[in-house]
Amino acid sequence: MAAIEQIAANRSFGGWHRRYRHTSAVLGCDMQFAVYLPPQVEQGERLPVLYWLSGLTCTDENFMQKAGAQRLAAELGLVIVAPDTSPRGAGVPDDPDGAWDFGLGAGFYVNATQQPWAAHYRMYDYVVSELPALVEANFPVTAQRSISGHSMGGHGALVCALKNPGRYQSVSAFAPISNPSNCPWGQKALGNYLGPERDSWKAWDTCELLAQASERLPLLVDQGEDDSFLAEQLQPEALQAAAERVGHPLTLRRQPGYDHSYYFIASFIDDHLRHHARALGRPG
């Protein structure tokens, strides 16, 4: 198991927000991730983990600094782990035109098969396997996990849960890219990372995965009605239709007046934390 190096620590609601660096064998580069450890860990309690996947251009810092999740996580006894959104560093390729919606900061939580991306862009394996193994080996946590995310990270959370029945106790998303095979962000990412054969994209598309899901884990999704990306990129109506076709439990909440920002996430994060806490057997 790779060693981890602590690079920052801040006291927060009786617990600790800490940041770490480690060398990822899966991604072939150094990675950073953040952990919120509630006060119960100092009392010797082992706690379940909520993994948070952030959106395009983000790092591990966005959610931890802007979502305001630590207060209730401390009360509920939930560890929160936030990875970066892509591999980074010397030798990791970026969008050749420097675009913000592909490459660095935009790993899309898939396993790339095309060059030059395949050597580093394996964020799915990192999130599902390597990072949890690292967390469970180094922190006082249980093997119970839940997963959530925003935008590209909402897509990632839904895909990780649907592709791994039994691995997560709950899943939720804010403004997820619901049908990446049919939106510009998704088509650019999947086309580059996986190649032009669209059949290969289906394994990374929530709407496609719902049709074959062997586990009917309830989905909680919040979507702002004033989100500027709503119609073109996010397509919650496609998610709703896909869930209805197979009878997959979905709570899709459309929130009037809310946009795509962390103001939106902070407004409803408590509902999501309680959703995960119930599934993880935490009091409150």
CA 111 – CA 145 distance, rounded (Å): 21
**Which residue out of 84, 205, 222, 227 is catalytically annotated?**
227
**Which residue out of 260, 272, 275, 276 is catalytically annotated?**
260
CA 128 – CA 117 distance, rounded (Å): 19
DSSP-derived 3-state class of residue 212: helix
120 is catalytic: no
Q: Are 52 and 153 in contact (CB under 8 A)?
A: yes
260 is catalytic: yes
Report the alpha-carbon angle 158-141-274, nearest 5: 50
CA 158 – CA 6 distance, rounded (Å): 29
**Which residue out of 148, 151, 181, 267 is catalytically annotated?**
151
> Residue type at 179?
N
271 is catalytic: no
List, in sequence order, every residue forming a beta bridge with 219; answer none if it has no partner.
171, 250
Which residues form the catalytic set?
A: 151, 227, 260
